[in-house]
Structure 1
Amino acid sequence: MTHYAFYAKFTTHPGEQDTLARRFLQVAEALEEFTGCELFAVAVPLEEADAVYVTEAWSSQEAHSAALADERVSAITGQLPGLLAAAPERVTLVPLGGKGLRV
């Protein structure tokens, strides 16, 4: 099984950074019971008032797809498009290891 990870930058409409960050933190809470989710980190940059970064690591791409299909997760992610000023910028990765990451 190949691990799956990515970084994503979400650019919000002006003034929506906090709202988007809160939504992603709600997603993180909903993912607590998903054993395939190894990391779901939400961060905001000091230099950009309208950006939210999400870093995810999964046991597999299938585990990620299953989580997206979950009713609780999709209820939250369905609220996100109206907050975004642009399509997310995403970099897909193959995790090799590191502190806190089981590969």
Structure 2
Amino acid sequence: MTGPGWPVRDGSRRDVLAGGFGLATLIATPGFAASEDKKMYGLVGKMTAKEGQRDALIAILLEGSGSMPGCRSYIVAKDAKDENGIWVTEVWDSREQHAGSLKLPSVQAAINRGRPLIAGFDSYFETEPMGGIGLS
């Protein structure tokens, strides 16, 4: 895996969240589109929790997710076919705001608590969201 969000194995939130995960389809709405000069930044990825630790890891991933400046959407979802799989989808106002979130004390604390519960990282995708429900 390469790219922002998952590839860096330096103990950052990228390691824990793998850049964020959860396959959500964004359907463009007529009243909203990303401006040409300000591109949104998106991450979608899948991680695998250690056996029996998925719910505990999800709880950690969701803690404090409402207080990340510039975060438009942060979705954590259970994989329907993999009992240890977790998908996370993130949409940010910018790549810079995502990078800044990695320095927040609440995110750093979540990294430290979540790291031991992660068995591995799977898919990772970096996106440029264009709009959709909930992104206005």
Which is bigger in relative contact order (C-alpha 8 A, separation at least 6)? 1
Q: Distance in 2 between matches of 1:42 and 1:91?
A: 15
Contact 1:9 1:88 (8 Å CA) reproduced: yes
Quote how far apart the aligned CAs of 1:81 are: 2.0
Contact 1:27 1:77 (8 Å CA) reproduced: no
Contact 1:38 1:58 (8 Å CA) reproduced: yes
Q: Considering only aligned residues, what root-mean-square deviation do their CA atoms show, in Å?
A: 1.4
Q: Which 5+ residue runs of structure 2 have no aligned equivalent?
A: 1-37
Q: Select 1:53's aligned residue among 78, 87, 98.
A: 87
Contact 2:77 2:86 (8 Å CA) reproduced: yes
Which AA in structure 2 matches 1:99?
Answer: I
User: Aligned runs of 1:31-70 on 2, under 5 Å?
Assistant: 32-70=66-104
Q: What TM-score comes out, normalization by structure 2 length? A: 0.67
Paired residues in the alignment total 99
Q: What TM-score comes out, normalization by structure 1 length? A: 0.87
Aligned with 1:38: secondary structure?
strand
Runs of 4+ in 1 over 6 A off after TM superposition: none
Q: Which 5+ residue runs of structure 1 have no aligned equivalent?
A: none
Structure label with greater radius of gyration: 2
In the alignment, which residue of structure 2 is the partner of 1:93?
Answer: 127
Q: How many percent of aligned residue pairs carry the same amino acid?
A: 28
Q: Does 1:9 align with 2:46?
A: yes
Contact 2:46 2:121 (8 Å CA) reproduced: no
Q: Deviations over 1:62-103 (max 9, x none)?
A: 10111110011111122222111113431110001111113x
